[in-house]
Every structure is written in structure tokens, then in C-alpha cells.
Chain A
Amino acid sequence: MKTVTLKINGLEVSAREGASVLDAARAAGFDIPTLCSHEELEPAGVCRFCMVEITRGTKSRLVASCVYPVENGLEVQTESDRVKKIRRMLIELLLPVAPSGPIGALAKRYGVEKSRFELDNPGQAPANCSLCGLCVRYCEQIGGGDAVGFLGRGVSRKVALMPDKGDECVFCRKCYSICNSGRFVEMAEVFPDQP
């Protein structure tokens, strides 16, 4: 197995070639927050919480560490000011949408007291879903049923139980437990009981 050496927050770390920066950082004990990452699933790179600052030579930029492969000589900052600024904005944006679940704890960690943002309509109830897609991807990649999917696109995107796919559901109920915000238990009430 080939290994790669890189620097994370100043600490020299070696990692398996092809591993993600996120995995390498976590293995070295750095706590990078994520919503859409799960050890059993392929990385998706959609929640953007895992963004880190990488430097090669004099150039630095932000990348999603869950999908960025480790490289020799790479310098990674997991909590730079630039990174924190991104995470704070992500928190502010998700607070009105998915106030339950992990966003509250993240807000505390990054010192976000309140969000400047609101839902489209006053009095609208939050969907409590950050659209991280863990349920959809689990069903697709492991559950095998495609019973959970996304509907719509853009700001209309939502997670839904696919009406015609109900008979493909294997009732593993992993979508219940994998959900970050407990949204799934509510939604799954419409699902038929296990045969």
C-alpha cells in the first residue's frame, strides 16, 4: 500500500494513497464537522461543512475535504479564518431550514448566535431537513431499493418517499436512524407497515 505524507494543521500525517483529506484529518484526530458524510457511503461533497484550506506553494484555496484526495506535500488548515467564515455562513443559512439536529450544536461551536436569514414565508414551518441526502444515498447504495429519493430541483428540492417504489423497500429502516435531524421518522409515517 502506497502512502502519502501531508501536513494537517502543522502536523505531519501519512495516509493511504487515494484516501480523502477528511479521512486523513479525522484519523489524525482533527474534528472536521460534516452533515453529508457517512462511513458506509460514497462521499457526496454537498454539505460543504468539511471545506478546508489547502496550500501548495504560495497558492491556497478551499476544497471539500471529503472528496479531495491526499497529496504529497499538501498543507491543510482545517480551522483557518477563511474556513470558519464559510462554516458560519453555512450555519446561518441552515438554521431557519433545519433548526433541529446538528446545526444547533455547530452554531454553538462556531459562535453563531442567530441567523440573518428566514424562510420564504413568515410563519412557515421549517422542513427540518438539510437535504444532506444520507437517507437517499443509503437507500441507493446499500439498501438497494431506491425507495427514498429527491424530488424537484433548486430551491424546490426535497426528500420524498417514492410512491411506486414502496414495494422495493426492504424495511431496513436505516433511513430512520441515519437521518441527522429526526425528520425522517415524521415523514415515514406514511410508509406502509412492515409486511
Chain B
Amino acid sequence: MKKLKSVVELKQFREELLAERKGIKKSIAVCEGTGCHAYKSSAVADAFEKELKQRGLDAGIAVRRTGCHGFCERGPMAKIFPQKIFYFQVKPEDVAEIVESTLLSDKLVERLLFFDEKTGKRCACQDEIPFYKLQDQVVFGNNFLISPKHIEDYMAAGGYSALARALSTMTPLDVLEEVKKSGLRGRGGGGFPAGLKWDTTRNAPGEPKYVIVNADEGDPGAYMDRSLLEGNPHSVLEGLMLGAYAVGSNQGFIYVRQEYSIAIENLPIAIEQAKQLGLLGENILGTGFSFDVTIHQGAGAFVSGESSALMSAIEGRVGEPRPKYIRTAVRGLWDKPSNLNNVETWANVPLIINNGSDWFRSLGTQGSKGTKIFSLVGKVKCTGLVEVPMGVTLRQIVYDIGGGIRNDRKFKAVQTGGPSGGCIPEQYLDLPVDFDELSKVGSMMGSGGLIVMDEDTCMVDVAKYFTNFLAQESCGKCVPCREGLRQMKRILQNITRGKGAEADLNTLEELGAFMKEASLCALGQTAANPVLSTLRYFRNEYEAHVLHGQCPARVCRDLIVFYIDPLKCTACGTCRKQCPTDAISGDKKLVHIIDQEKCIKCGTCFQVCPARFSAVSRLPGGPAPAPVAYGTTVVQKAKGESR
């Protein structure tokens, strides 16, 4: 690759690329994001390459190994261009047929298409699949077009045109103003206006200034930043460079979790290729602007995503927050002005510069502009990454995009914002999703995790899960967060074990308010949200635990009991044979009885009791109804069951 010395040379380079690719009429994008990679999608890509080569088609049909396509649950995925046909759960054995049917004779391979349960039809194109139809993939969409290991793909898709434009026709202040006007808010958690933050860094005294990418995404179940960084690293780099230009920085850092192996593989390649093209380094495109970027691998502490902790870690110290009455935008890395934004925020910047702030403002709501990528997981039928304009309702995301609740169970709550967020009940399903609306109901946008929960989820158990997570992941430095979480964890444990008291609920609320007010950093200040939001909307579940010793969702093992209905038991013996603790007694024609002393509440009997008998019931709390005397004969007769 030759070094591009001017904006004109960059344009020529892109034109040459496009001319070279003119002969390619069709292409196959095989997802090699983390999800599909785990499904061995590389073998599928290999098979496509081999098949096309054998048939001598490799010159006219391109195989692209791309980043994440979003519908991770149905991987490995392959998307056929130009028709935008999506094939799911593709195996290497399917490849020859796809080439033969779809690529050579425009026929569909029906069995690999998405099946829409609602209409009973198969959908071929992206625009027909409900999961994609309602999305607006302005940030994520380029993942289909780009192999992250080839900068040419990004360039061919228009990459680095925003940088070229900014460096040649805009002053740093113009760039800053455009971002300010766009209303872009930080996608990492707090939703702070990016332009204001940039402005603070730009105006803060001290040189050099730094720009940093926060790729320490750590919320359980969230992976949108990971997928962006893996699939389209150049969009993040370009955004970072635009930010650097705007605030007057020449050095950037990317703080990325060590666990993100594909991102860590692709990022250095992207940086190296950008350097070779002269898009990073000294005197970029002959404009006098110089910029370099360093990758810092995080060692996996959740708290390192907090800005001051992240900067401490880059400095080589322990990644712990420091009290920051002076913001990191003013005094950050090595006490210099440092602008930190997360991956998705940076990836939005080239789009804003290319399309203008008015375009960006046309997407979203009054207070939250643009789109947001969510990680839709939990008990929905279709899980994966979804990008929607701000303001779409939770109901649309859960039911239209996600396809509704798995096994048609009843919806209970959606947890947003990761461990610092909260659980939103059914009454707010029509809430438009934006930064402010989510805060109003006691949750937050966070980085965009959406965990859907159904009626079989115990909300006290959920609060306990997140509290335990935070108790382990807090740095433990300040008393309110560390000791507050320790006690919350203990109290929740007691409640789920049937040892709670009504007064505990008030204590939890008091502790939550205290932690919010007294903790040192945002982690501690929001650590009580899982408890506070579940107490706010599901207090009846807490009360059932502490007042009646019952777990309404039948989850908490220390409370629930299993019971065999003597009128329904057919003495088939299945439960007795499979009980791991021999807690079930019975014999031919005798009603089976559970010895509650021996029962470990594993639920095996409940699961194995044939559905047509449904003799085993799981009760929310004890004591179990008194068992019949041993030796009682069954009323029902089992047909065809082994005795």
C-alpha cells in the first residue's frame, strides 16, 4: 500500500478500489463475529472460498469474512449480496447448494431461511425478517460490507471520507460545533453530551491532550462495543481521530478488555494498515495534523470502565477510581486533559461529519438523538444485537424485533443498563427508550444491555445476582460501596433463604439511598439500582419472601417445595428412579411420596413427570401438604409406562 499524501490521493485511491471491484457482481458476507465464530463460521467461509475456486467463480463472486451481523442466536450467518438474502445456521455442507441455487440460478435454499412463527412463512431478505425489518442500522450496518482485516473494504464503503473532509475543509472548531449541534450523547453509561465533554477538554489548560476509547464493556450480557470494535475497527479509529482533531490532541489510547480476543487481533491490523496508508502518523494526508494511537489491554476489572480508574490503569497503576471533583476531561491521564468516550460514541462521529448534524438530529427523540445499539438477551425468542432509533418503545424491541417471550410465557420485566441499571415492569413497556425516559423510571440506558425476564424469574434473585456481581467487582476502596454491598448481599441472601424480616426491606432502601449519596464513584452511586428498582416495582415479591416464606416465581430453593398429587400420581416410577437423593418412595401401584427432609429441590421430579400426568407440582413455599400414608394405592393408571 502506498502512502496517501493528500485528500485528492485518498479520493483517487477510493476510485481505483471501486473500479477494481466493478467486476464483482455478487458477494457473500460470512459473519466471523464472536458469536458466529464460536459456531465455527470460519469453516463456512473456508467452504465458500473452496467451492467458488473449484467452480472458477472466485473472480466474480467475493467472500467477505465480516464482523457481527447481530442475529447471533441463529449463527453461523451468511448474507448474499446484492439480494440481501440471509441464510442462518449455515454449515459447510450447505455451501455447495447455496452456490448452486442462489448464486448461480437465483433460487432460494428454503430450509436455511428465517421462519416467521407469526405468519408461518419463510423470509428471504433482510427487509422481510422481523428482527431486522424494524432496525435502523446506521452504525452497525457497515459490518456487512467490511472485512475488518482489510482497510480497502472500509475505504470502498466510504471510510475515512469524514476525516478527509474535516482535515481539508473544516477547522477543529467546526468539527466540535457539528458534534455539539448533533446532540450526540455518550453511549457508555451516563449519556453526557459528547460535544460538551470535547469542549471541556479543548479548553482545559495543559498539554498534551489525550483522546481515549473506552472498550472496557463489562455489563453481563452486553457486547455491542465488542462487536463494533471487532467488525468495524476503522470506524472507531476515524471517530477518535476526528475527536482528536477537534480537541487538539495528537495521541489516543484504546482501552480494550483482554478478553476481547478478536478485537485485540483486529485492532493492531487496522492501526497498521491505517499507518501504511498514511492515515495515522505524522502529517496525515499532508494536512499537518498528526495522530498516533496506542492499544492498552485491560486485565478484566469491571470497575476499570469508570473514567478515572481506566486512566489510572493506562498509567500503569491499579485500576481504581479516584475522587474527581475535577473531571478527567480537565485533569485525566497523567493529569492532562483527557477526553474519554466509549466505542459506540466514537463510531457515530464519522457519520455525523459525513451526513451533518441535521441528519443526525432527525433520528431519535427530543433529548436523545441518533440510534442506539442494544444487546437484546434473556427470555426473548430472537436474541442478538439490535440498532434502533432512540425513542422506539420497549414493547417494539421485545415483541416486534425480539419476537416476544420464549415458550409464550408471560413477560415480567426488562433489565436495562447493566448492573447499574434497573428492572422495568410491564406497565412501562410502551416507554420510548431514551436516556431521560429510562432514568425517570429508575433505570438507565447504560451501555445498552436489555435483559428480558419472564414470569419464571424471581426479582429478589435477580437483585441478588447483580448485587453479588457488584460486590465482587467494586474496587472496595470506599466504605459506602464496599460495606453497603456487603450488607445488601447478606440481607438478600437471607431473604432468598427465608430468613428475612419485613424490616430488611426498609434497611435495603435506606442503604441504597446512602450509597447513592456517599459513594466515591459512579459504580457505588448506582450500585443499589438493581435492589431499589426491584423494590420499587416488585415489592410484593420481596414481601412474599419475608412475610409468607414464599417465592412466587418458584425459584428460591430454600423456600419452594415439591409435592406429588396423590390423585394424579400413576406410580409410573420415573421420578423415583431419577431422584438423585432417593427422596421419593413408592412402589408399583403405590402413590409416590417425597421425603421433604431428603429433598434438595433440584426439580428433577418436576421435570421428568410425564406432562400427561403432571402429578408433581412446584409450590412457591412450604410446608407441603401432608403426604398420604405410605401404601396408598393410585387412583390413576399409567398406560404404557414401565412399572
In the bound complex, how far is the Cα of B490 from the Cα of A102, in angstroms?
A: 25
Assess whether A47 is in contact with B479, with CB atoms less than 8 Å apart.
yes
Assess whether A62 is in contact with B323, with CB atoms less than 8 Å apart.
no
In the bound complex, how far is the Cα of B482 from the Cα of A68, in angstroms?
A: 22
Q: Which residue of B lies closest to A158 (CB)?
A: B476
In the bound complex, how far is the Cα of B167 from the Cα of A59, in angstroms?
A: 43
How far, in Å, is B437 (CB) from chain A's closest CB?
24
B81 at interface by CB-CB < 8 Å: no
Assess whether B472 is in contact with A154, with CB atoms less than 8 Å apart.
yes
B514 at interface by CB-CB < 8 Å: yes
How far, in Å, is A12 (CB) from chain B's closest CB?
23
In the bound complex, how far is the Cα of B325 from the Cα of A63, in angstroms?
A: 9
Assess whether B485 is in contact with A155, with CB atoms less than 8 Å apart.
yes
Assess whether A62 is in contact with B487, with CB atoms less than 8 Å apart.
no
B301 at interface by CB-CB < 8 Å: yes
Out of B318, B322, B480, name the residue touching A90 (CB < 8 Å).
Answer: B480
The verdict on A89 contacting B514 (CB below 8 Å), with A67-B325, A68-B325 known, is yes
How far, in Å, is B57 (CB) from chain A's closest CB?
55
Determine chain B's interface SS by DSSP, over half rule.
Answer: helix
How far, in Å, is A169 (CB) from chain B's closest CB?
20
Q: How many A-B residue pairs have CB under 8 A?
A: 95
* A25-33, A115-123, A175-183, A187-195 - the one binding chain B: A115-123
Out of B318, B322, B477, B510, name the residue touching A89 (CB < 8 Å).
Answer: B510
Out of A44, A117, A155, name the residue touching B482 (CB < 8 Å).
Answer: A155
- Which size bracket describes the interface of B in this complex? 20 to 34
Assess whether B473 is in contact with A97, with CB atoms less than 8 Å apart.
no
B547 at interface by CB-CB < 8 Å: no
B517 at interface by CB-CB < 8 Å: yes
Q: Which residue of B lies closest to A133 (CB)?
A: B477
Q: Which residue of A lies closest to B486 (CB)?
A: A155
B489 at interface by CB-CB < 8 Å: yes
In the bound complex, how far is the Cα of B485 from the Cα of A47, in angstroms?
A: 15
Assess whether A90 is in contact with B518, with CB atoms less than 8 Å apart.
yes
Assess whether A154 is in contact with B479, with CB atoms less than 8 Å apart.
no
Assess whether A153 is in contact with B518, with CB atoms less than 8 Å apart.
no
B 506-527 binary contact with A (CB < 8 Å = 1; else 0): 0100110010011110000000
B62 at interface by CB-CB < 8 Å: no
How far, in Å, is A69 (CB) from chain B's closest CB?
7
Contacts of A120 in B (CB 8 A): 486, 490
Residues of chain A from 16 to 68 with CB closer than 8 A to chain B in the complex:
44-48, 51, 62-64, 67-68
Assess whether A156 is in contact with B479, with CB atoms less than 8 Å apart.
no
In the bound complex, how far is the Cα of B521 from the Cα of A39, in angstroms?
A: 24
Q: Which residue of B lies closest to A97 (CB)?
A: B483
Out of B303, B322, B489, B514, name the residue touching A86 (CB < 8 Å).
Answer: B514
In the bound complex, how far is the Cα of B517 from the Cα of A82, in angstroms?
A: 10
A 87-103 binary contact with B (CB < 8 Å = 1; else 0): 00110011001000000
A114 at interface by CB-CB < 8 Å: no
Assess whether A93 is in contact with B507, with CB atoms less than 8 Å apart.
no
Contacts of B298 in A (CB 8 A): none
Residues of chain B from 463 to 489 with CB closer than 8 A to chain A in the complex:
470-480, 482-487, 489
Assess whether B301 is in contact with A153, with CB atoms less than 8 Å apart.
yes
Assess whether A156 is in contact with B472, with CB atoms less than 8 Å apart.
yes
In the bound complex, how far is the Cα of B474 from the Cα of A189, in angstroms?
A: 30
Contacts of B483 in A (CB 8 A): 93-94, 97, 117
Q: Which residue of A lies closest to B473 (CB)?
A: A154
The verdict on A154 contacting B518 (CB below 8 Å), with A68-B325, A94-B483 known, is no
Contacts of A97 in B (CB 8 A): 483
Q: Which residue of B lies closest to A149 (CB)?
A: B318
Binding site for A on B (CB under 8 A): 301, 303, 318, 322-323, 325, 470-480, 482-487, 489-490, 507, 510-511, 514, 517-520
Closest 8 CB pairs of A and B: A157-B476, A45-B323, A93-B483, A67-B323, A154-B474, A89-B514, A46-B478, A155-B486
